[in-house]
Structure 1
Amino acid sequence: MNEQTEIKQELLTRRLLRIAYRLDRLENTLVKMQLLQRNTQLLIERLLKDKRAVRKELQVLTELILNDPKSEK
């Protein structure tokens, strides 16, 4: 190979390495975002479960108060 071809090949190699590095960073970011999304989904599910439990408890307490013969109406 002549010198000019070697220089072009070196530049292309460097460019490919930069692209590979950027791609790796993008993939890592994507994985982190997917984990964050999954954790967020789990938190939402727990909050909804807690909300249902609180509503059920509120309903039971309300019925107890309304059905208590000692309560003033």
Structure 2
Amino acid sequence: MAPLGDLLSKWPLIRQIREYKDGTGLESMSDKTRAMHARIEDAQVARSVCPYCGVGCGQLVYHKDGKLI
């Protein structure tokens, strides 16, 4: 089992307190958060019109491999 200090150092809150940061940078992210990426990262985008009420609001539609995301 890892020592308590090693476990605590993995927590973003502990890094923020230790480094005196404002909590908006990399110190506020866990390893899992840093590894995440947006679903639309490698998608194509097309302009479309919202079908809800008929006013004609524009929207961006993201698609990949012929499927909407």
Verify same fold: TM over 0.5. Answer: no
In the superposition, the TM-score normalised over structure 2's length comes to 0.28
The structure having more radius of gyration, on CA atoms, is: 1
Higher relative contact order (CA 8 A, sep 6+): 2
Which of the pair is proportionally richer in helix? 1
